[in-house]
Structure 1
Amino acid sequence: MAASCFRRRIAAQLSNVLEMPPDNLMKSIHAIPVSKKRQAADFQFFVSSVLDASKLPKSDIQLQTQRLAEQLKCDNVVSEISTGEGRINFTINRELLAKSVLQQVFQDGSEYGIKSELFSGLPRRKILIEFSSPNIAKKFHVGHLRSTIIGNFIANLKEAIGHHVTRMNYLGDWGMQFGLLGTGFQQFGSEEKLKLNPLQHLVEVYVEANKAAEEDETIKKMAQDFFRKLEAHEEEALSLWQRFRDVSIEEYVRMYKRLGVYFDEYSGESFYQEKCQEVLKMLDTKDLLKKTKEGTGIVYLPEKGDQSYSAVVRNDGTSLYITRDLAAAIDRMDRCYPDTMIYVTDKSQISHFQQLFQILKLMGHKWAERCRHVPFGRVQGMKTRKGEVVFLEDVLDEASSMVLERMASTKTTKELVNPLETAQRVGLAALIIQDFKGLLSSDYQFSWDRVLQSQGDTGVFVQYTHARLHSLEEKFGKVSQVSHINPACLQDPQAISLIQHLLRYDEILYQSSQDLQPKHIVLYLLALSRLAAVAHKVLPVKGSVPELAEARISLFQAARSILANGMKLLGITPITKM
């Protein structure tokens, strides 16, 4: 009997008094967050959730709370019932609490929290998530880091809950910039440099071509002509573009391996160049496609009585970003039949996706209502010791380099088989935890000193805690089952606080699954690390009598298990030595 069973027991009591079905009350019963005050109660029920609080003064709500509490009775599960402001608090029998939570953690393993009643009624869906989406022929920019790790987190969480997830990388591999790059390579490119360092050379070529186009109208016209040849699938232009695409994907796969990210499908804007014509025909057939005086194709978007519009085709007939996105959305729905499509991009594209979804609705695609854009803010002030950062590889190298230096200067650092791999995992954890601590839509200021602190709310601290708890298991042995553990040995305040925190894990997962914000899990893991550190300090295993030692080991093992589960959802690989 763990969180779900305790909630059901409390809901059954409330149901008898309120004459409401228990299922209607379950989601109004919450595990109480652990605080420094060390509240004794484990669950709370807000009476306003079953009353029309807007029509009652506070004094009446409190009176109703008191009356309701008086009708409830303690039993062999609930040992104490008390009231707070508009809420009823329930304290679970202490030994039953300890035994039930640990048994549930050991029994469910990686599915602890997910097997909760909170998820049992949720229908399993097919979900397509588009994320990362770098532009080919360019190095992996730090701007794509957030899309990559956020999309990976959402995919991990949705999969863990039981949904069927398709992870899609929609490459920026089409558009007028490839006219500029193609022309630039013909003018300034080097086959030798392309073989030695492909993406670096293509970046240099693009910069040179862009500068030349600004100074020479001929270069600009040549670039437009190259893109027209590309859209017409002329062999020479297409062959050069294909080479750029192949070398780019090869480089990206290497970067994704470092990040621990994979994709089920690589797609790209280029796939939809021909399908764009079908989209334009559909828009024309539905009388949605209009022309400006300059010949640009537009779609009017009626909003709040005003007439705004979105351009969907250039006056020379070439496609635009939104045209390709319209074709891609329709194709994915026809081919994959997802119940939901989620797009993970920075918040500068909010308007683009609003227009995209609105045009799809105007075209008669009701499923557009099941499309969702998850926007995120910008990272500011990201620098390495060499200066301003542009490329992700530099950031990952800097993170692992700084972690290695700090590990080398710390006396407690264990001897590691592969210190570089450990440093890379700690460095990535530091970046992910820092990124996920706030609302995704918020911009944040980056600081290496803050990110890599070994104490405090950092990924380094979370990794250190996991390694420390793992070393306990290595030293004293793992507990295989907890049925014979004496729960009376786990009644210290620090042990109870840790158990109460484990009790809340399913609610945290549920909250993140609803709003797709990883911060709930991050804050939970940081609190879990702090509580585990305190308990480890005051509840020694070494020197304790066998019965007490085994009980404490089982508690620390449960804490490490949940810590590892949560880290993996965030995209972090837990380390076992540090």
Structure 2
Amino acid sequence: MDFKLEIACLLEKVTGVSQQEIINTIEIPPNKDMGDFAYPCFRLAKQFRKAPPLIAQELCQKIEKPYFIEEIKVQNAYINFFVKKSIYVKEVLQKVLTQNENYGNSNIGETKTIVIDYSSPNIAKPFHVGHLRSTVIGNALYHIFETLGYHCEGVNHLGDWGTQFGKLIVAYQKWGSREAVEQQGIQELMRIYVKFHDEAEKQPELEDEARAWFVKMQNGEQEALSLWKWFYDISIKEFNRVYDMLGVHFDAYTGESFYNDKMTAVVEELKEKNLLKQSEGAMIVDLENENMPPCLIIRKDGGTLYATRDITAALYRKKTYRFDKCIYLTALDQNLHFSQWFTVIKKMGYDWWKDLIHVPFGLVSLDSGKLSTRHGNVVLMEELLNQAISETQKIIEQKNPDLYNKEEVAKQVGIGAVIFNDLYNSRIKDVVFSWERMLNFDGETGPYVQYTHARACSILRRGECSLAENIDYSKLIDDASMEVIKLLEQFPQKIQEAADKLEPFIVTRHLINLSQAFNKFYHDNSILNSETPIKEARIALVIAVKMVLKKGLALLGIQSPEQM
């Protein structure tokens, strides 16, 4: 039974408001004294031409109380519904236990396609901690939308084209060697890239040399493309190592270079539609009427830019995937860039421009501050993940040195802590790493949720428990049990809300709340030593919590160890 839907049906009969609108308005009260569900009547004031509290009183008298409702009360402008506890418990737990790993799934996105553009590191630059946010937020959204029935296409739009490769070629020829690059890989590429910027401050003509080499790449000159491909292969090898650690995958690695032979047609289309203008030797799309700076399409040296490639990629993706939404995960400081080229798509006459969505996020930093690859003060992602694993191993050695498979558990918990920490707050907030807080088994952290899951597994293992056939759900109407069950019931709604708002933290926070409620239930109630009917009911609750925690962590891209 969907209690919110059933209550919406009752209210639809007496208000004339659509069922869906009522569902969107129904609230979960902040405390149990206000009921299990509440309907605010403020929006009805104009329709009924009465004060909201009076409307609530009149509607309450008209509602026919169904079998699953214990009581209906009015408090100010709210109609509060109290569900019969035994029915509520039975309906929620049976649904969770029956659907198992499919609990929370939906077909709302059936027949719809969402393209998610995430991670997108730059070739020949290290995969540093600054790339974490796009990678884990995008991965979580992919899982969330997939759970709701959408067909997802995860695209890693690699930064593998542009003037930076001209800089790298110049740097390699002046200060690098094949032997050093072969031995040290991306670290050597980073060293000479940083040196280029240091030297270019003293010799600005180096920038001209770099631009010239990039034009050679665009023109397909063999020497330039051969070096570029070499740098590409070295980088991909390192990136994949990090993605394997994070458990992240992509459906396509169509980076900027993929669109090199497709941009000419797009530039021609812009010309045909009289959108291109010449400005100081460059070609632009004027956005003055939209109160934005012009969108630069072709530089005066003939080179293309990020906007050229992004417009081309969007046109390609619409044709290839026929997407309903195309989501771009990048830092907040790229807002203007996306606003500009989204507007160009609109000016080109494509009504699907409104389906292009920029999902911005805040920065990630350590105590040393913001990260930059130009001057070398960078924290590598692989090093960060290895340090998280190492720190977790130390904690396990202190707390549970005899733990089976502790190296694998340390990996699951350490990497899970990094991911959870990133997804703990709204994506727009900056993320700062604190090992002490991030790896706290008692705080609002990934290890805390994982430990709660392991605790549920431990209870079931110690009691050699399985799900009983005829459970007396009336044994679970105490406050601690009810709080857990309410959070279990809300889980599907939280997944939908996370998708609607493009905010994985909604799932993250719900898992914290569920873990806290379950741990209170665990401390307040004897489980394995209870009388048989009570034990069977409580075991059913433990199994349901274990299922939902595992499902929720999987949505975030985090594993669920059974022992910690």
Please classify the TM superposition score into its range, dividing by the shorter chain length.
over 0.9
CA displacement, residues 332-367 of structure 1 (integer Å, 9 cap, x when unaligned): 112221121110000010000000100111111221
Is the aligned partner of 1:367 residue 2:358? no
Q: What is the one-letter code of the residue matched to 1:205?
A: I
Partner of 1:45: 39
**Among 377, 400, 406, the residue aligned to 1:419:** 406
Change (3 A) 1:87 1:483: farther
CA displacement, residues 420-453 of structure 1 (integer Å, 9 cap, x when unaligned): 2212221222222222222211224432222222
What is the rounded CA distance, in whole Å, between the counterparts of 1:155 and 1:191 in structure 2? 39
**Among 53, 70, 78, the residue aligned to 2:69:** 78
Partner of 1:333: 318
**Among 93, 101, 107, the residue aligned to 2:98:** 107
For 1:16-55, list aligned pairs within 5 A.
Answer: 16-20=13-17, 22-32=19-29, 35=31, 38-39=32-33, 41-52=35-46
* Contact 2:440–2:447, Cα closer than 8 Å, also in 1: yes
SS of the counterpart of 2:286? strand
For 1:229-248, list aligned pairs within 5 A.
Answer: 229-248=216-235
Change (3 A) 1:307 1:62: closer
* Contact 1:438–1:519, Cα closer than 8 Å, also in 2: yes
* Contact 1:127–1:165, Cα closer than 8 Å, also in 2: yes
Q: What is the one-letter code of the residue matched to 2:384?
A: V
For 1:265-414, list aligned pairs within 5 A.
Answer: 265-292=252-279, 294-303=280-289, 306=291, 308-382=293-367, 390-410=379-399, 413=400
Give ranges in structure 2 of 5+ residues lacking alignment: 370-375
SS of the counterpart of 2:72? strand
Change (3 A) 1:55 1:238: farther
Q: What is the one-letter code of the residue matched to 2:226?
A: S
What is the rounded CA distance, in whole Å, between the counterparts of 1:313 and 1:149 in structure 2? 33
Q: What is the one-letter code of the residue matched to 2:93?
A: L
Give ranges in structure 1 of 5+ residues lacking alignment: none
**Among 179, 182, 185, the residue aligned to 1:192:** 179
Partner of 1:575: 561
* Contact 1:131–1:151, Cα closer than 8 Å, also in 2: yes
What is the rounded CA distance, in whole Å, between the counterparts of 1:214 and 1:409 in structure 2? 51
Change (3 A) 1:172 1:307: closer
What is the rounded CA distance, in whole Å, between the counterparts of 2:234 and 2:102 in structure 1? 39
Change (3 A) 1:8 1:228: closer
Q: CA deviation at 1:477?
A: 3.1
* Contact 1:382–1:388, Cα closer than 8 Å, also in 2: no
**Among 212, 225, 228, the residue aligned to 2:212:** 225
Change (3 A) 1:303 1:466: farther
What is the rounded CA distance, in whole Å, between the counterparts of 2:551 and 2:33 in structure 1? 26
Q: What is the one-letter code of the residue matched to 2:501?
A: D
What is the rounded CA distance, in whole Å, between the counterparts of 2:289 and 2:497 in structure 1? 32
Q: CA deviation at 1:211?
A: 2.5
What is the rounded CA distance, in whole Å, between the counterparts of 1:150 and 1:54 in structure 2? 44
- Give the number of equivalent residue pairs: 558
Q: CA deviation at 1:478?
A: 4.2
Change (3 A) 1:209 1:461: same
Change (3 A) 1:21 1:228: closer
What is the rounded CA distance, in whole Å, between the counterparts of 1:542 and 1:267 in structure 2? 54
Return the TM-score normalized by structure 2.
0.94
Partner of 2:190: 203
What is the rounded CA distance, in whole Å, between the counterparts of 1:574 and 1:352 in structure 2? 39
Change (3 A) 1:54 1:290: farther
Indicate the larger mover: 520-529 or 205-214. Answer: 205-214
* Contact 2:128–2:380, Cα closer than 8 Å, also in 1: yes
Q: What is the one-letter code of the residue matched to 2:452?
A: T
* Contact 1:180–1:206, Cα closer than 8 Å, also in 2: yes
CA displacement, residues 258-278 of structure 1 (integer Å, 9 cap, x when unaligned): 001000000111112232222
Q: How large is the RMSD of aligned CA atoms in angstroms? A: 2.2
Partner of 1:561: 547
What is the rounded CA distance, in whole Å, between the counterparts of 2:293 and 2:184 in structure 1? 45
Q: CA deviation at 1:17?
A: 2.6
What is the rounded CA distance, in whole Å, between the counterparts of 2:292 and 2:367 in structure 1? 41
Q: What is the one-letter code of the residue matched to 2:253?
A: Y
Partner of 1:451: 438
Partner of 2:136: 149
Partner of 1:13: 10
Q: CA deviation at 1:302?
A: 3.3
Partner of 1:181: 168
* Contact 1:28–1:49, Cα closer than 8 Å, also in 2: no
* Contact 1:383–1:389, Cα closer than 8 Å, also in 2: no
Is the aligned partner of 1:479 residue 2:471? no
* Contact 1:302–1:308, Cα closer than 8 Å, also in 2: yes
**Among 497, 516, 537, the residue aligned to 2:502:** 516
Partner of 2:526: 540
* Contact 1:389–1:395, Cα closer than 8 Å, also in 2: no
Return the TM-score normalized by structure 1.
0.92
Partner of 2:52: 61
Change (3 A) 1:32 1:235: same
Partner of 1:491: 477
What is the rounded CA distance, in whole Å, between the counterparts of 1:479 and 1:105 in structure 2? 15
Q: CA deviation at 1:524?
A: 0.9
What is the rounded CA distance, in whole Å, between the counterparts of 1:104 and 1:49 in structure 2? 33
**Among 462, 487, 490, the residue aligned to 2:449:** 462
* Contact 1:53–1:61, Cα closer than 8 Å, also in 2: no
* Contact 2:421–2:446, Cα closer than 8 Å, also in 1: yes
SS of the counterpart of 2:253? strand
Q: CA deviation at 1:217?
A: 4.8
Q: What is the one-letter code of the residue matched to 2:553?
A: M
Change (3 A) 1:53 1:505: farther
Partner of 1:525: 511
Change (3 A) 1:125 1:286: same
What is the rounded CA distance, in whole Å, between the counterparts of 1:70 and 1:388 in structure 2? 68
What is the rounded CA distance, in whole Å, between the counterparts of 2:137 and 2:207 in structure 1? 37
Q: CA deviation at 1:571?
A: 1.2
Q: What is the one-letter code of the residue matched to 1:200?
A: Q
SS of the counterpart of 2:157? strand
* Contact 1:171–1:268, Cα closer than 8 Å, also in 2: yes
SS of the counterpart of 2:471? coil
Indicate the larger mover: 422-431 or 20-29. Answer: 20-29
* Contact 2:117–2:155, Cα closer than 8 Å, also in 1: yes
Q: What is the one-letter code of the residue matched to 2:103?
A: Y
Q: CA deviation at 1:552?
A: 0.5
What is the rounded CA distance, in whole Å, between the counterparts of 1:262 and 1:372 in structure 2? 21
Q: CA deviation at 1:8?
A: 3.2
Change (3 A) 1:23 1:371: closer
SS of the counterpart of 1:514? helix
Is the aligned partner of 1:88 residue 2:75? no
* Contact 1:342–1:373, Cα closer than 8 Å, also in 2: yes
* Contact 1:404–1:423, Cα closer than 8 Å, also in 2: yes
* Contact 1:31–1:504, Cα closer than 8 Å, also in 2: no
Partner of 2:372: none
Change (3 A) 1:378 1:474: same
* Contact 2:366–2:432, Cα closer than 8 Å, also in 1: yes
What is the rounded CA distance, in whole Å, between the counterparts of 2:358 and 2:292 in structure 1? 23
